[in-house]
Amino acid sequence: MKILVGLGNPGAQYAGHRHNIGFMALDRIASDHGFGPWRAKFNGEVSEGRLGADKVLLLKPATFMNESGRAVQAACAFHKVAPADVIVFHDELDLAPGKVRLKTGGGHAGHNGLRSIHAHLGPDYDRVRLGIGHPGHKDRVAGYVLHDFAKADQDWLDDVLRGISDGIGQLIDGHGDRFLNAIALRAAPPRSSTTKPAKPPGPSPAKPAAAAAPEPDTRSALERLKDRFK
C-alpha cells in the first residue's frame, strides 16, 4: 500500500489558500481516478482506491498544518506502512509558481507540516514540492501562504493539478521522471506539427530588382530609316 498525504488546513475558509495546494492535489487525484468518498479517520480525512496494481490511501490531516504528523503516523501504524511508502504533497516557497520537484529525505526547510511529520515519522519519506513562489520577504510569508491563490494563478494551477493526476500512476510505480514529464506536458504542451517554422534570424534576402523600362525612341521616321541602312 501507498499513502499519499496532502498538506493543508481544514475548513472552508482555508480551501483556496496557497498553503492548501497539497489538499487540492489529492482532491484532483480522488476525483479523476474514481476513489471512494472522503471519510473521517486517523485525525483526518481519507479516501481509498487503486492506481494500477497498488492500493492507495489518500490522507488529508485535519489537525491543522503544524500537527500533520499525528495523522500520518496514525495511518502508517494502522496499515503497517513504512515511511518509504509515504508521499507528501506540499507547497514550496523556494520554487517558482507552477514548478514541481521531487525529493526523498533531507530537512524540512522550516515548513511546519513537514516539521511535524519529521517529528512523528522521521525524514525518510518522499515529497512532491509544489512551487507557489515567495512574497519577497520573510515577514510577508505567513500572510502570503494563508491567502487564496490570485486569479492570475488559476491557469497554471489547473495545469499542475491536471498533470499530477495524469502522472500519478507513474509516480506510484517509481517513475518520477515520467510523473514530472506528465506535468510538463500540461504546463507547456508541445507545438503542433502543422505550426509553420519560425523565420531564421538575420536580414531577409533582397528581392530581385525589376527590369528597367526601355527609354522611348524620340527619333523621326527618316532618322530611324537612315540608321537601318548604315
pLDDT band at 187 (very low <50, low <70, confident <90, very high): confident
What is the average pLDDT across 53-78?
97
Name the grid cell of 199.
Answer: 523565420
Computed on alpha carbons and rounded to an integer, the radius of gyration of the chain in Å comes to: 31
pLDDT at 89: 98
Is CATH 3.40.190.10 correct for 2-148? Answer: no
pLDDT at 216: 61
pLDDT at 191: 61
High-pLDDT (> 70) share of the chain, %: 82
CA dihedral (42, 84, 156, 48) positive or negative: negative
DSSP three-state, residue 33: coil
pLDDT band at 221 (very low <50, low <70, confident <90, very high): low
Q: Which residue ranges make up each domain of the chain? A: 2-148
Average pLDDT value for the chain: 89
CA-to-CA distance for 11 and 13, rounded, in angstroms? Answer: 5
Helical ranges in 90-131 per DSSP H: 112-121
In the predicted model, is pLDDT for residue 195 greater than 50? Answer: no
pLDDT at 131: 97
The candidate with the shortest Cα–Cα distance to 51, out of 76, 29, 72, is 29
Q: Which residues are catalytic?
A: 19
List the helix and strand counts (H, then E) for the chain.
7, 7
In the predicted model, is pLDDT for residue 73 greater than 90? Answer: yes
DSSP three-state, residue 37: coil
User: Burial level of 221, CB count in 10 A (0-12/13-18/19+)?
Assistant: exposed
> What are the tens digits of pLDDT across the range 28-54?
999 999 999 999 999 999 999 999 899
Name the grid cell of 125.
Answer: 519519506
In the predicted model, is pLDDT for residue 192 greater than 60? Answer: no
> What are the tens digits of pLDDT across the range 101-134?
999 999 998 899 999 999 999 999 999 999 999 9
